[in-house]
Chains A and B, each alone.
Chain A
Amino acid sequence: EAGVTQFPSHSVIEKGQTVTLRCDPISGHDNLYWYRRVMGKEIKFLLHFVKESKQDESGMPNNRFLAERTGGTYSTLKVQPAELEDSGVYFCASSRTSRGEAFFGQGTRLTVV
């Protein structure tokens, strides 16, 4: 069984540009989560999908962040326009149920210069 896959593993972009991160959850996992770790700080929840629906987006920092999960399979997280403070590692996790173990991807390291 393939694990959670995130693409790209690294991204360096200039301030003001757009970046799209992708997450492929484990097949059959309805729950998909996005988290972010800004340098030196704890990992913070961004949002939660159940299939294609946003269950909880209370952690999204502002309207420059847009997450989608069309068809309830893979998810994308777009940052537009990117700012310096968006730099960090973005993790995706999936689980079969909301009470089950969450499996994480390897993360995308985003650097905004």
Chain B
Amino acid sequence: AQKITQTQPGMFVQEKEAVTLDCTYDTSDPSYGLFWYKQPSSGEMIFLIYQGSYDQQNATEGRYSLNFQKARKSANLVISASQLGDSAMYFCAMREGGDNQGGKLIFGQGTELSVKP
């Protein structure tokens, strides 16, 4: 069965340092997508980055990069040069692919990131 695991309930990082948030997944579908969302204290879910299972290169979006290791089924989020505004809950999610799939997301438990000044 498809599953997303985030093993770090909480993380601390010093401002301006890099931090890695872990995510592992399990699926038997060869076609899938992996997402990271940020949820600040205000509650909205903000899309950060996407990685397709057939993408050859790791996805990057500004200070966010996704360390995609397909054989290990991991999709860790790396945030470089952390800022105080990065303090939030971060969710890893997976969507199984195929044209007959509805696009629903399966989420991990989330990681609470706190950036220290």
Interface residues of chain A, those whose CB is within 8 Å of chain B, are 9, 31, 33, 35, 41-45, 48, 50, 55-56, 59, 89, 91, 93, 95, 97-107, 109
Measured CB to CB, the closest approach of chain A to B99, in angstroms, equals: 8
* 6 closest residue pairs by CB, A with B: A98-B103, A104-B45, A43-B107, A106-B44, A45-B104, A56-B102
8 A Cβ contacts from B4-38 to A: 4, 33, 35, 37
How many residues from B make CB contacts under 8 Å with A? 26
A89-B43 in contact given A31-B103, A98-B102 (Cβ < 8 Å): yes
Q: List 12 A-B contacts (CB under 8 A).
A: A31-B102, A35-B105, A42-B91, A59-B104, A95-B103, A99-B95, A99-B99, A99-B103, A104-B45, A105-B44, A105-B45, A107-B45
CA distance A31 to B105 in the complex (A): 13
Residue of A at shortest CB range from B47?
A101
Q: How far is the CB of B45 from chain A (nearest CB, A)?
A: 3
How long is the Cα–Cα vector from A73 to B46 in the complex, in angstroms?
22
Which residues of B lie under 8 Å from residue A91 when comparing CB positions?
45
- Docked Cα-Cα span, A9 to B43, in Å, equals 10
Q: Which residues of B come within 8 Å of A, CB atoms? A: 4, 33, 35, 37, 42-47, 50, 91, 93, 95, 97, 99, 101-110
Residues of A within 8 A of B91 (CB): 42-43
Min C-beta distance of A18 to chain B, whole Å = 23
The answer to whether A99 and B97 touch across the interface, beta carbons within 8 angstroms, is yes
Residue numbers in B under 8 Å from A56 (CB-CB): 102, 104
Q: With the chains together, A104 CA to B40 CA distance in Å?
A: 13
Is B108 touching A42 in the complex (CB atoms < 8 A)? yes
Asked if B103 and A48 make an inter-chain contact with CB atoms under 8 angstroms apart, the answer reads yes
Given A42-B110, A89-B43, A91-B45: A104 and B104 interface contact (C-beta under 8 Å): no
Residue pair B47, A102 in contact (C-beta under 8 Å): yes
Question: A48: which B residues are within 8 A, CB to CB?
Answer: 102-104
